Amino acid sequence: MARLQDKVIIITGAAQGMGATHARMCIEAGAKVVLTDINTEKGQALAAELGNQALFIQHNVTSEDDWTQVIAATQAYFGTINVLVNNAGITQSKSILETSLDDYRRILEINQVSVFLGMKAVIPSMQASKQGSIINISSINGLVGGAIGYTDSKFAVRGMTKAAALECAPFGIRVNSVHPGVIATPMIMQGDTKAAVEAFAKSIPLRRVAQPEEVSRLVLYLASDDSSYSTGSEFIVDGGLTAQ
Ligand SMILES: NC(=O)c1ccc[n+]([C@@H]2O[C@H](COP(=O)([O-])OP(=O)(O)OC[C@H]3O[C@@H](n4cnc5c(N)ncnc54)[C@H](O)[C@@H]3O)[C@@H](O)[C@H]2O)c1
């Protein structure tokens, strides 16, 4: 039997980057995947390419109403939800003095409040079925410092994961965080940033940027029953960057 045979998985921010790769690899492993994103054009095109094990739903992760609709539509289309991957996120690299209050609130809403809303929306259905795996995508900037706003939001995701893991364990729901290092996705490989990222990669112990698939393999582990005893934990995939 395929590793994720018939598991129903919701992945946010799945129109491109790591979310898209997680969706593709979960489907290859037998799962039924709901891809959500604010980018409808890209999300719909990817779901069409992935076939009848994929469904795209337009979704702004900061909207509680959108979350209610995503959960209801997933249950109606595929049935019991087994896994939620809170992956959607944005980055920013401004200093504290350059960051406006609106900038600051925006990144916390998209990277942090969204994870609260996603867990709040999915937990009732997972409680009812006495199972579930919630995978919250943080960053190495949830472990060590980086830019203001981004770092704050990713540290919060790490903490929320532990709070949720303790609260949800009695119901058989596992909650873990994933901490990627430098991964080749549109988020960091566009325009001027690409050259800077490649130069920085020389300082990583494994001397390179990772491909999204290298993070997806960890997400597949946490989505599968292979990780049945892991909850409240931090899973780092960073080529040794934070070991230095
Ligand atoms: N790329 C990296 O090096 C890296 C490293 C550590 C952590 N991460 C984290 O991994 C996750 C995925 O990053 P990526 O590199 O694939 O990014 P990406 O920019 O390539 O993709 C992010 C996706 O999220 C979607 N999105 C943004 N705001 C949204 C919203 N409000 N509602 C719904 N969807 C929204 C975008 O449309 C996009 O499709 C993010 O949480 C990011 O912070 C990335």
User: In this structure, which residue's CA is closest to atom 36 in ligand 1?
Assistant: 13
Task: Give the residue extent of every domain in the chain.
Answer: 8-232
User: In this structure, which residue's CA is closest to atom 32 in ligand 1?
Assistant: 60
Ligand 1 contact via 168 beta carbon (within 6 Å): no
Name the token pair of 219: 């997400």
pLDDT at site 110: 99
Ligand 1 contact via 153 beta carbon (within 6 Å): no
CA atoms within 13 A on the CB side of 72: 6
pLDDT at site 141: 98
| Average pLDDT of the residues in 25-34 | 98
According to CATH, the superfamily of the domain at 8-232 is: NAD(P)-binding Rossmann-like Domain (3.40.50.720)
pLDDT at site 193: 85
Question: pLDDT tens digits for 111-162?
Answer: 999 999 999 999 999 999 999 999 999 999 999 999 999 999 999 999 999 9
Question: pLDDT tens digits for 62-111?
Answer: 999 999 999 999 999 999 999 999 999 999 999 999 999 999 999 999 99
Rounded to whole angstroms, the Cα distance separating 99 from 149 reads 9
Ligand 1 contact via 139 beta carbon (within 6 Å): yes
Interval between CA 63 and ligand 1 midpoint (Å): 17
Helix axes 150-168, 101-108, angle to 10 degrees: 30
Catalytic positions, written as ranges: 150
Q: Is the pLDDT of residue 190 over 90?
A: no
Name the token pair of 172: 């058989």
| Average pLDDT of the residues in 48-66 | 99
